[in-house]
Amino acid sequence: MTRNELLAPAAIVLTVVAVLLFGPYAVSVDGYPQWITRGTTVADLVTQHRVRAFPGDLHDVAGGLIMPREGGPQLVTVNGSAASSGTVIRFGAVVVSERGRDSVEPTVAVTVETTPTLQFRGHGPVESLEASGTPGITKVVRGAVSGIVLERVVVTPAVPVTVRREPAWPGRKRVALTFDDGPWPGQTERVVAELKDAGARATFFMVGYLATRNAGIARDVAAAGMEIGAHSQSHKLLKHASPAVIRSEISEGIASVRRATGRRPVFYRPAGGSVNAYVFLEAKRENVRVVIWTVDPRDWSRPGTRAIARRVLDNIRPGSVVLMHDGGGNRSQTIAALKLVLHGLKARGYEMVTLSQLYSPPPAKP
């Protein structure tokens, strides 16, 4: 025998011993034999997808399914005992997996500032801030994944913004006609001409960007003895707008009208009558009084000249504030109705004045 012939059997024996000591060996995983390498753990079996069961599902805080198989990990037993992810699988082990437990998303708690609510006192179309109120603080607990709100706890209640509504100075047959959404070339001039013919004055709530664009008309309206009011910069509805948008709509609207006419408005009418607490806080800051209306003939819906006139004349009372439109679309019906309205009001003994006249002298405090 040569030296090599002696070494060959020894190499075979060593290899067999090495395989027995360090090589892969058989275990049972979920009823199937599998070869695993020494040192394989429960976590390895799971990540190598060698167990049959899946993780549990992830649910939202309301019990709905958010993500399947993103819940708790598979429950694994080794030789009948619960195993952890780091448990090493020994030779001949019996591994059984079970579906993991469903889990619920984590929750997060945040504190949010709540918009002050609005509270009105009194009656009348002119609305002035009486008390500023304060925002409230609310703790909100919600699902970190779904955002579903689980709980709301008021930490500090909001103090409502209080707005005082005022009627016109009583006892005189005076009304204020108001025209919104101009200046509108070809229409505003005709409204002013009708008013002048009747010896009437009125108030024009101008949209800021239109006053800038039609500054010549805006100036003529003011020069004709009409009162100029502000109607926001771009006619955005403000009820759900952010405080920053509310501030710019009101302040830019006032500035635009002032630049165009040379007069600073003292009345502000929110576009669409759409308000929230911040609108009144901002109006106070800008030193304008908020004014809505008491008579709305819905002239913008073009119900017909006679319908517009009848709706005004049937509802008019001393101190009325009448809402009409010289801009925002075709207002030929409004302009035609205005002649009937002015005639009818005169026949009933009314004087048509500006809002400042109607509210001057100021009403006594209740």
Minimum CB separation of residue 180 from Zn ion in Å reads 4
Which string of x and - marks every residue 252-271 that binds Zn ion (by CB under 5 A)? -------------------x
Out of 57, 127, 166, 180, the residue judged to bind Zn ion by CB under 5 A: 180
Minimum CB separation of residue 272 from Zn ion in Å reads 6
Residues 134, 174 contacting (CB under 8 angstroms) = no
Minimum CB separation of residue 232 from Zn ion in Å reads 8
* CA distances, 93 to each of 21, 80, 81, 326 (Å): 16, 10, 11, 89
Element (H, E) at 325: strand 321-325
Asked if 181 touches Zn ion (CB under 5 A), the answer is: yes
Q: Which stretch binds Zn ion (CB under 5 A): 125-133, 172-180, 218-226, 346-354?
A: 172-180
* 57, 59, 60, 180: the active-site residue: 180
Minimum CB separation of residue 176 from Zn ion in Å reads 16
Q: What's the per-residue H, E or C state across 18-65?
A: HHHHHCCEEEEECCEEEEECCCCEHHHHHHCCCCCCCCCCEECCCCCE
Nearer to Zn ion, 162 or 232 (CB): 232
Nearer to Zn ion, 181 or 227 (CB): 181
Pairing of strands 58-59, 81-82: unpaired
Long-range pairs, 304-307, Cβ under 8 A, ≥24: 304/333, 305/333, 305/336, 305/337, 305/340, 306/337, 306/340
* 57, 299, 325, 326: the active-site residue: 325
Block residue for tokens 């060698």: 50
Minimum CB separation of residue 250 from Zn ion in Å reads 14
Asked if 249 touches Zn ion (CB under 5 A), the answer is: no
Pairing of strands 126-131, 161-166: antiparallel
Asked if 326 touches Zn ion (CB under 5 A), the answer is: no
Nearer to Zn ion, 162 or 178 (CB): 178
Residues 173, 318 contacting (CB under 8 angstroms) = yes
Nearer to Zn ion, 105 or 180 (CB): 180
Catalytic site includes residue 180:
yes
Question: Mapping DSSP to helix (H, G, I), strand (E, B) and coil, where does residue 77 land?
Answer: strand
Residue 339 amino acid letter? K
Nearer to Zn ion, 100 or 327 (CB): 327
- Residues 47-76 touching Zn ion, rule: CB under 5 A, are none
Number of residues that bind Zn ion (CB under 5 A): 3
Catalytic site includes residue 326:
no
Q: Which two tokens stand for residue 270?
A: 């929110």
Block residue for tokens 């992830």: 58
Ranked by CB distance to Zn ion, the top (closest) residue is 180
What is the binding site for Zn ion (CB under 5 A)?
A: 180-181, 271
Residue positions annotated with a catalytic role: 180, 325
